[in-house]
């Protein structure tokens, strides 16, 4: 599995992969329409914006197998988080098109996610998604191992949030520890996790 920066001409494919990976993700069910099809369209719009925002202000990595996209990681290094408030429109428009209810729920969710950030400088793992057709083939692990190596080189922790309980033991395998818990709209849980700096030697 090859890990590299996402080529700009693959952004649309990356958004489609993430929409497929996250269409039924609990956090998106807490924010978006209850019906699957319009929610999937909303998630696709969101990730098109998220990739554009990260392309300007963060970093986007992809895992490829035989040239095919298998996984995507959107990250922000310590010096680029939080990005400017003006850049938030990249992500917000995709949710806003679903109406006032989604807007209110989206703002509540964003507030909870932002409040979970640790005070110390950290890498923020905004999104880690794997093509559903390529699950358990190492794409997610390859992306995480790449990120962890870079974070250890810079001696900074990595922070993430998740609303899927199955993700907790998965991330623990890579050294992440539970760092907090909150609730999203529609009573969906939100867990924050932190991978602390590992002392060398």
106 in any annotated domain:
yes
201 in any annotated domain:
no
Check: CB of residue 80 under 8 Å from CB of residue 60. Answer: no
100 in any annotated domain:
yes
Determine the pLDDT at residue 144: 98
181 in any annotated domain:
yes
Please write the tens of the pLDDT for every residue from 63-111. Answer: 999 989 999 999 999 999 988 888 988 999 999 999 999 999 999 999 9
Token pair for residue 49?
A: 């914006």
Determine the pLDDT at residue 166: 95
69 in any annotated domain:
yes
What percentage of residues in the chain have a pLDDT greater than 90?
90
141 in any annotated domain:
yes
* Regions of the chain with pLDDT less than 50: none
Query: Distance of alpha carbon 131 from its chain centroid, rounded?
Result: 14
- Residue position matching structure tokens 């392309």: 55
Angle between helices 89-96 and 36-57 (to 10 degrees): 170
200 in any annotated domain:
no
CATH label of the domain that carries residue 58: 3.40.630.30
Split into its structural domains, the chain has a count of 1
Residue 56: which domain range? 2-195
Nearest to residue 131, comparing CAs of 44, 70, 50? 70
Nearest to residue 83, comparing CAs of 62, 104, 102, 59? 59
Angle between helices 89-96 and 100-115 (to 10 degrees): 140
68 in any annotated domain:
yes
């Amino acid at each position: 599995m090859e890990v590299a920066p996402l080529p700009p001409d693959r952004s649309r494919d990356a958004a489609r992969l993430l929409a497929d990976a996250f269409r039924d993700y609990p956090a998106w069910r807490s924010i978006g329409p209850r019906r699957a099809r319009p929610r999937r369209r909303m998630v696709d719009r969101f990730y098109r914006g998220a990739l554009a925002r990260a392309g300007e202000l963060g970093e986007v990595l992809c895992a490829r197998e035989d040239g095919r996209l298998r996984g995507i990681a959107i990250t922000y290094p310590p010096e680029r988080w939080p990005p400017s408030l003006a850049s938030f429109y990249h992500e917000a428009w995709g949710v806003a098109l679903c109406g006032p209810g989604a807007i209110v729920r989206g703002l509540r969710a964003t507030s909870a996610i932002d409040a979970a950030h640790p005070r110390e400088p950290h890498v923020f793992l905004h999104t880690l998604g794997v093509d559903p057709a390529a699950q358990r083939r190492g794409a997610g692990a390859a992306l995480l191992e790449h990120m962890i190596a870079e974070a250890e080189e810079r001696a900074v922790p990595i922070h993430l949030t998740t609303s899927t309980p199955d993700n907790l033991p998965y991330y623990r395998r890579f050294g992440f520890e539970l760092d907090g818990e909150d609730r999203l709209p529609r009573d969906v849980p939100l867990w924050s996790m932190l991978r602390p700096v590992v002392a060398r030697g």
